[in-house]
């Protein structure tokens, strides 16, 4: 009479297993009650419920990808009924496998029912950095930043800065950030739809008030000239978003430039340049004092009359 094997197994989550790099026989004194599965290993459990009258048995497991259990664990000796087990490693995460228990005695071989288990997903991991730092970082006004991320065991990622699906490794650059607090987050998903997130915090400092260099004839903010003289006004505004003129000139002005104006009246001219940014307003003034010209006189030549 052939041995009859009743094979008990089901898929459970088994945390904390430490597996070797090759198949080996699990200690038969510590076989679990049922088959245990992790992301890359499994402890297969079978039970001999009838030794068929010959308790000197050889037992093993056959396993493999679905529909193809062509691999086998090393045969091992077993005496009589009870559980036996073997550990297999090198499995792929999130994959399904078939397996069955096998027992042999002098009367022949008996195969347990073909069962299925699925390995666990490894779980994703992602690391997000800003300018190669984990953050938080504080940067000057209008700084450029580069977000870079790397992940493991992920199939795709999503970032808080875009609605598009992101690759599992990548980077993106944002230019000229204005003052404020910025938060960026990325979430990566594995094939089991498990998610892992990471984020960075960035503070962009407010700029200083605009710094204006405003001169007349490239040399001073006070100048004395004569009527109808031309005066060149030159300026540069740092940390400014916009500038405008007032006083004895008007209009919007670029952040740097020059302009020539003819002084047509005898008076004290006041030229104001006001520039603004997010932090406030700065103003610079140039005065030009226009005076009358000295009279021009000539001496007429003598005319001799005879």
Task: Give the chain's end-to-end CA distance (angstroms, integer).
Answer: 170
Residues 73 and 165 in one domain: no
- Residue 302 falls within a domain, yes or no? no
- Domain of residue 219 covers 211-291
Residues 80 and 8 in one domain: yes
Per-position b or e across 136-158, b if 16+ CB within 10 A of its CB: ebebebebebebebebebbbebb
- Residue 301 falls within a domain, yes or no? no
Looking at 99, 118, 137, which one is the last position of a domain? 118
Q: What is the mean pLDDT of residues 232-240?
A: 95
pTM confidence score: 0.56
Distance (Å) of CA 36 to CA 39, 74, 206: 11, 19, 58
**Contact yes or no for 85/112 (Cβ under 8 A):** no
Q: What is the mean pLDDT of residues 175-202?
A: 94
**Contact yes or no for 105/129 (Cβ under 8 A):** no
Q: What is the mean pLDDT of residues 162-180?
A: 95
pLDDT class for 9, splitting at 50, 70, 90?
very low
Q: With 70 as the cut, is the pLDDT of residue 81 above it?
A: yes
- Residue 268 falls within a domain, yes or no? yes
Per-residue tokens: 215: 């001169």
Residues 79 and 159 in one domain: no
Residues 222 and 187 in one domain: no
Residue 6: predicted pLDDT: 35
- Residue 296 falls within a domain, yes or no? no
Q: CATH no. for residue 105?
A: 2.60.40.10
Omega before 136 within 30 of 0, i.e. cis = yes
> Residue 91 has what DSSP assignment?
P
Residue 106: predicted pLDDT: 96
Q: With 70 as the cut, is the pLDDT of residue 213 above it?
A: yes
- Average per-residue pLDDT for the chain: 89
Residues 180 and 281 in one domain: no
Q: What is the mean pLDDT of residues 185-195?
A: 93
Q: For the beta carbon of residue 299, count every other beta carbon within 10 angstroms.
A: 5
Residues 17 and 66 in one domain: yes
Read off the pLDDT of residues 246-263 as tens digits, 9 standing for 90 and up: 999 999 999 999 999 999
- Residue 55 falls within a domain, yes or no? yes
- How far is 86 from 70, CA to CA, in rounded Å? 16
**Contact yes or no for 198/154 (Cβ under 8 A):** no
Residues 194 and 113 in one domain: no
Place of tokens 């792929």: 92
Residue 88: predicted pLDDT: 96
| Greater pLDDT, 66 or 134 | 134
Residues 199 and 238 in one domain: no
- In the chain, the number of structural domains is 3
Looking at 157, 172, 204, which one is the last position of a domain? 204
DSSP 3-state of 24: strand
Residues 79 and 161 in one domain: no
Please provide the DSSP assignment of 102-114 as one string.
EEEETTEEEEPPP
Residue 99: predicted pLDDT: 96
Looking at 179, 204, 229, which one is the last position of a domain? 204
Residue 46: predicted pLDDT: 96
Residue 12: predicted pLDDT: 31
Q: Half-sphere exposure of residue 299, counting CA atoms within 13 Å on the CB side? A: 2
- Residue 92 falls within a domain, yes or no? yes
Residue 26: predicted pLDDT: 53
Residues 156 and 113 in one domain: no
pLDDT class for 22, splitting at 50, 70, 90?
very low
> Residue 13 has what DSSP assignment?
B
Distance (Å) of CA 22 to CA 73, 86, 119: 11, 12, 17
- How far is 268 from 270, CA to CA, in rounded Å? 7
Q: What is the percent of the chain with per-residue pLDDT over 90, rounded to a whole number?
A: 75
Q: What are phi and psi of 29, to 5 degrees?
A: -80, -15
Highest-scoring range by mean pLDDT, 6-20, 24-38, 280-294: 280-294
């Amino acid at each position: 009479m052939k041995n009859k094997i009743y094979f008990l197994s089901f898929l459970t989550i088994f945390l904390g297993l430490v597996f070797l790099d090759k198949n080996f026989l699990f200690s038969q004194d510590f076989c679990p009650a049922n088959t245990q599965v992790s992301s890359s290993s499994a402890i297969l459990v079978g039970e001999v419920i009838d030794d068929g009258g010959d308790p000197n048995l050889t037992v093993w497991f056959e396993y493999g990808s679905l529909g193809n259990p062509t691999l086998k664990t090393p045969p091992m000796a077993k005496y009589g009924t009870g559980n036996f087990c073997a550990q297999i490693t090198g499995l792929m995460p999130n994959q399904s496998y078939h397996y069955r228990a096998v027992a042999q005695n002098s009367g022949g071989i008996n195969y347990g029912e073909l069962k299925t288990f699925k390995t666990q997903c490894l779980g994703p991991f992602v690391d997000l950095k800003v300018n190669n730092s984990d953050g938080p970082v504080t940067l000057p006004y209008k700084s450029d930043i580069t977000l870079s991320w790397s992940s493991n065991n992920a199939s795709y990622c999503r970032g808080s800065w875009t609605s598009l699906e992101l690759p599992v490794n990548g980077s993106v650059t944002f230019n000229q950030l204005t003052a404020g607090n910025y938060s960026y987050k990325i979430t990566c998903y594995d094939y089991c739809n498990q998610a892992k997130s990471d984020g960075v915090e960035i503070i962009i400092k407010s700029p200083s008030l605009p710094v204006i260099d405003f001169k007349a004839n490239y040399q001073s903010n006070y100048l004395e000239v004569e009527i109808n003289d031309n005066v060149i006004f030159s300026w540069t505004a740092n940390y400014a978003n916009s500038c405008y003129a007032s006083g004895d000139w008007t209009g919007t002005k670029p952040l740097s430039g020059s302009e020539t104006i003819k002084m047509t009246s005898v008076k004290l001219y006041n030229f104001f340049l006001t520039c603004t940014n997010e932090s406030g307003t700065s103003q610079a003034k140039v005065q030009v004092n226009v005076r009358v010209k000295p009279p021009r006189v000539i001496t007429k030549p003598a005319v001799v009359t005879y």
